[in-house]
Amino acid sequence: MRTTTGWGPGQHAAGQYMTTPADDLPSAHTATPESFAVPGFDAVVRLVTHSLGVPVVSLVLNSGAAYWFADGNELPAHGPRALHPLLLQAARSLAPHVVLDAFDDERLRGTAVPLAAGPGPMRFFASEPVCTLTGQHIGALCVMGPLPRESLGESEQTALRDAASLIGAGVVLRSYLGRTDPTTQLPHRYAFFDDLRTHLHEGVPHAWVIAIDVAPVQRFNAFVRAMGHVYADELMRTVAARVTQQMPAHTRLYQVGATRFAAVLPDHHMLDDTSWLDDLVARLRWPFDCLGIPLTIQPGVGLLKINADELRGGDPLRLVMNASHAAQQSPRGWAVYNRMQDEQQRQEFLLVTELAAALNEGAELDLHYQPRVDLDSGRCIALEALARWHHPTLGSIPPAHFVALAERAGLMHSFTQWVMERGVSQLAVWRHAGYDIKLSLNVSSTDLGADLVGRLRSVAEQHKVGLDALELEFTESTLMEHSAVTRRHLTAIRDLGAGIAIDDFGTGYSNLAALRQMPATSLKIDQSFVRGMGSSPHDEAIVRSVAELARNMGFRVVVEGVETSNIYESVLAMACDEAQGFHIARPLPSSDVPAWLAGHQGMPSRRAVRWGQ
């Protein structure tokens, strides 16, 4: 018996291979023989044909691509045009299949497609699923013969099973070597680099690299957790097929990450007209049919222009990923790599790492405290805690900057925890020393989870500070963003006795109905209006009317950004309860607070004005 196989042109003189694309799969999606060589395959085929006495062996991948081997040289060069449904079913099933006589089998009646394009009709069929060493199901090893059988013996079944596991191991080996992805059968990252290098050394001045991100990693992981790997693999296969269809002709697609494809565009004029990129994004935004479930992805297409010098020592995939990642968030869905943006992101990433370390160690972070003065008495009744980060090389980083960074990086939970613990423990010391003051703490929208209430209560208990001595400041936009859920948490905070302030009021888009329903205790008029009062009668009118409105709605009114004595005098005459600003005091380091409190003579007040009259 002579076995002929088809792994790679020229490898076997009588080699016959074919890739049968199933009807629903684009032909570009099937692997070329050269990209799908499995080490040791020859030996496996020999083993199977000998042990089972069959002339036709086929490896059918669950992508629908099939590889055929025949004893003798009678297979037509391109095999059957369509894959028999039984083969596809076997490839996509985790169970072995046996058909002793196809002529007698109900399931096969009425199918015009032959089992194999072999020498005459095939009547016997058996298959065994092929899984990689990591347990990934990639298809089935199928054997076929022209004669019907009475049974399939145990030793034959074992031989088929062994052969299937050897193939699975070979596929793993092959992909370990970095050439082919076992799921999509696309060439891997190393092949991409090799080809890019070759392309750039063929004399072209530069190349355009394209990367396609399927979905943000977290979203994809959530999908895998919900649906399992079978769906995830199928999704990647169908996406790969659609990307391939949309790519310019003669483009070889590579799988360069779990959810990422890349290619080198064949012609560097490809970007003279970018309408094909809009089409590509539009097509990728259409739902995919993933084993009967319609799914949409969040594609991002990135492009990078690169020359041979830049390739040396550079990491083109990192750069182009930067663009595809940015594109995922953009309405257009594709973006060209932008060096400045990349630099900014790198800085941001480094800063986030350093902020996380600073939070752990606590040495570079500090709180400053800015006094708030009661306008009736002129006395300081509260302090606002404001975070400070002194970076060892960059110096002091504005809180508006690093707070936003912490929000984006998911560090807010531990940051706010740090602020609460540091602020409340400090307040306990001052109150113990006899200063009757309250403390307000800034919290961000990401803090508004269920446990904020519990965290606040336990910090207050730990330091024996009454909750009525604490106030949380939320920006107006935070409060308006998620009104229903927010209101529940805020009500719980208020029930504990703590205050709630609406910070930076006037910068968001509150509607009065929503505002009325907010269980807040005070409203802080944004400093941009307050600072403008000296020069703009409009700003003065805004502060006056907002103060009146807020007070009529039952809020305590605080004006921030009081920078001059004139502004201070003006707000004294308005419906305002408290003032805060550089004119009264700048934010102070904790060590300066007791001296400031002790030496503070009190600001001009309504009471004093009345008594003076």
C-beta of 367: minimal distance to ligand C2E in Å?
A: 7
Q: Which is nearer to ligand C2E, 156 or 526 (CB)?
A: 526
CB of 601 to ligand C2E, least distance (A): 20
- Residue 30 vs 475, nearer CB to Mg ion: 475
What's the rounded Cα separation, in Å, for the pair 305 and 339? 11
Smallest separation, CB 448 to ligand C2E (Å): 11
- Smallest gap from residue 437 Cβ to ligand C2E (A): 17
Q: Which is nearer to Mg ion, 322 or 440 (CB)?
A: 440
Q: How far apart are CA 87 and CA 94, in angstroms?
A: 13
| Least Cβ distance, residue 586 to Mg ion (angstroms) | 15
Decide: helix, strand or coil at residue 79.
coil
| Contact partner at residue 115 from ligand C2E, Mg ion, none, CB < 5 to 8 Å by partner kind | none
Picked from ligand C2E, Mg ion, none, the partner binding residue 3 (CB below 5 to 8 A depending on kind) is none
Query: Closest distance between ligand C2E and the C-beta of residue 503, in Å?
Result: 5
Residue 522's binding partner among Mg ion, ligand C2E, none (Cβ under 5 to 8 angstroms by kind) is none
Q: Is 270 helix (H, G, I), strand (E, B) or coil?
A: coil
Residue 553 makes CB contacts below 8 A (sequence gap 6+) with 515, 516
Convert 232-254 into a string of H (helix), E (strand) and C (coil): HHHHHHHHHHHHHHHCCCCCCCE
- The H or E element spanning position 357 is helix 339-361
Contact residues for Mg ion (CB under 5 A)? 442, 473, 503-504
Residue type, 56: V
Interface with ligand C2E by CB under 6 A: which residues?
Answer: 370, 386-387, 398-400, 403, 419, 442-444, 473, 503-504, 527, 560-563, 580-582, 587
Query: Can you tell me the distance from the alpha carbon of 546 to that of 548, in angstroms, rounded to the nearest whole number?
Result: 5
| Cβ closest to ligand C2E, residue 231 vs residue 582 | 582
The partner in contact with residue 4, picked from Mg ion, ligand C2E, none with C-beta cut-offs of 5 to 8 angstroms by kind, is: none
Residue 520: which of 455, 440, 400 has the closest Cα?
440
> Considering beta carbons, is residue 377 or 444 the nearer one to ligand C2E?
444
- Coil vs helix vs strand at 87: helix
Instruction: Tell me how far apart the alpha carbons of residues 545 and 541 are, in angstroms, rounded to a whole number.
Output: 6
Which of ligand C2E, Mg ion, none binds 510 (CB below 5-8 Å, type-dependent)?
none
User: Between 251 and 477, whose beta carbon lies closer to ligand C2E?
Assistant: 477
Q: How far is the CB of 244 from Mg ion (least distance, A)?
A: 53
For tokens 């003669």, what's the residue? 250
Residue 359 CB contacts under 8 Å (≥ 6 apart), including other chains: 365, 411, 414, 415, 418
**Run of H or E including 283:** helix 275-285
Tell me the residue number closest to ligand C2E, measured at CB.
581
Handedness of CA 608, 582, 403, 436 (dihedral sign): negative
Closest approach, Cβ 338 to Mg ion, in A, equals: 33
> Which amino acid is present at 587?
P
Q: How far is the CB of 582 from Mg ion (least distance, A)?
A: 13
d(CA 302, CA 338): 10
- For residues 403 and 479, which CB has a smaller minimum distance to ligand C2E in the complex? 403
Q: Which does 26 bind (CB under 5 to 8 A by kind): Mg ion, ligand C2E, none?
A: none
Taking CA atoms, 335 is separated from 319, 327, 338, 457, 493, in Å, by: 12, 5, 8, 47, 44
**Residue 533 to residue 562: CA distance in whole angstroms:** 9
β-bridge mates for residue 553, sequence order: none
Nearer to ligand C2E, 234 or 447 (CB): 447
Looking at the Cβ atoms of 324 and 442, the one nearer to ligand C2E is 442
